[in-house]
Amino acid sequence: MSSTDERTHGTDGASAGVPMVLAEGVHKRFGLNEVLKGIDMTVGRGEVVCLLGPSGSGKSTLLRCINHLEPINRGRITVDGQIVGYREKDGRLHELPEKVAVQQRADIGMVFQRFNLFAHRTALQNITEAPILVKGMGRKQAEARALELLERVGLGDRGGAYPSQLSGGQQQRVAIARALAMDPKLMLFDEPTSALDPELVGDVLDVMRDLAKAGMTMVVVTHEIGFAREVGDRVVFMDEGVVVESGPPSQVLDAPQEARTRTFLSKVL
């Protein structure tokens, strides 16, 4: 059926052994303000990594660098073994032409804090847009697939609704379905529940939990400590543009080694 079912945790893929995301010494500046100060991070295939940290710590920026929405200033990021946004030739990095860069992004799904559903398109059209435009999929096929995905996020009957007619939680689930329609090999979640009313958070987390179970590789920026503990294979705690500590949730969340992690957790728990 969907690619997430075919592509299970497998280390038997063609590029087995290569991590899904590899960030090495990543620096990112906005003007004089250095937001990322040398980040090293690895995300394995099928792994769910939760990025935690106070606001302004650079978590969202790191996420946006992974799919090259923000170009980085130093270091390198590879996704599935490919350098993001560049091509290496004769020891120099060359910017990728738009057509190639676009293909890279098409393989990486992203879910935003503010949903960013296309306001002039129905839920169904939001989902079919990219498969039709980017993958050249036929309309009928794309719509069938979109319905399947809407069903999967529990909104099988809301395909004809415009985003403004949906609740925040429903919009976010459509946004997840929209990203999944491109059969991504990696899903990035940028605080997917931060803009939701408390009673709507659960539905979105349920969908993400199912996705993780199906073996999707996920990087999740979140403030939901409970979710990180339950679903995360690993938790990365960031502060002021560096990774303070990382490890399994039981270690980072329950027995943090660093004082900064302890301070943060004492505030949010």
Partner 1 sequence: MSDDTRATTAEDIKAVPVRHYGRWAVAVVVSVFVASLLYSAARNERFKWDVVGDYLFSDRVLNGLWLTLWLSTVAVVIGVILGTALAIMRLSSNPVLSTISLVYIWFFRGTPVLVQLIGWAFIGALYPEISFGVPFGGPDLISGSGNDIITPITAAILGLGLNLAAYQSEIVRAGLLSVDEGQVEAGKALGLTGSQTMRRIVLPQAMRVIIPPTGNQAIDMLKTSSLVSVIAVSDLLYSVQLIYGQNYQQIPLLVVACIWYLFFTTLLSIGQYYLERHYAKGNVRSLPPTPLQRIRARTAGMRFGASGGGGGAGA
Write out the residues near partner 1 by the rule CB under 8 A. 67, 69, 98-99, 102-103, 105-110, 112, 114, 116-122, 129-130, 133-134, 162-165, 175, 178-179, 182
Q: How many CB atoms lie within 10 A of CB 232?
A: 25
Least gap, CB of 124 to partner 1 (angstroms): 13
Nearest to partner 1 of 128, 246 (CB atom): 128
Q: How far is the CB of 7 from partner 1 (least distance, A)?
A: 18
Give the integer Cα–Cα distance in Å for 203 and 158: 15
Cβ proximity to partner 1: between 94 and 114 the closer is: 114
The answer to whether residues 254 and 244 touch, using CB atoms and an 8 Å cutoff, is no
Helix (H, G, I), strand (E, B) or coil at 246: strand
Per residue, what are the HEC states of 180-209?
HCCCCCEEEEECCCCCCCHHHHHHHHHHHH
Closest distance to partner 1 from the beta carbon of 219 (Å): 13
CB of 64 within 8 A of CB of 219? no
To partner 1, the closest distance from the beta carbon of 60 in angstroms equals 12
Residue among 100 and 268 whose Cβ is closer to partner 1 = 100
| Counts for the chain of helices (H) and strands (E), in that order | 10, 12
Q: Which is nearer to partner 1, 184 or 249 (CB)?
A: 184
The single-letter DSSP state of residue 166 is S
At 247, is the secondary structure helix, strand, or coil?
Answer: strand
What's the min distance (Å) between Cβ of 226 and partner 1? 27
| C-beta closer to partner 1: residue 63 or 243 | 63
To partner 1, the closest distance from the beta carbon of 137 in angstroms equals 12
| Smallest distance, partner 1 to C-beta of residue 244, A | 28
94: which residues sit within 8 A by CB, 6+ positions away?
Answer: 86, 87, 88
CB-nearer residue toward partner 1: 9 or 114: 114
Closer to partner 1 by Cβ: residue 89 or 120? 120
SS3 (DSSP) at 25: strand
CA distance 78 to 82: 5
State the Cα–Cα distance between residues 214 and 220, nearest whole angstrom.
16
C-alpha distances out from residue 122 to 28, 158, 161, Å: 36, 9, 5
Rounded least distance, CB 164 to partner 1, Å: 6
Please, which residue, 3 or 165, has the CB nearer to partner 1? Answer: 165
- Phi, psi angle pair for 145, to nearest 5°: -65, -40
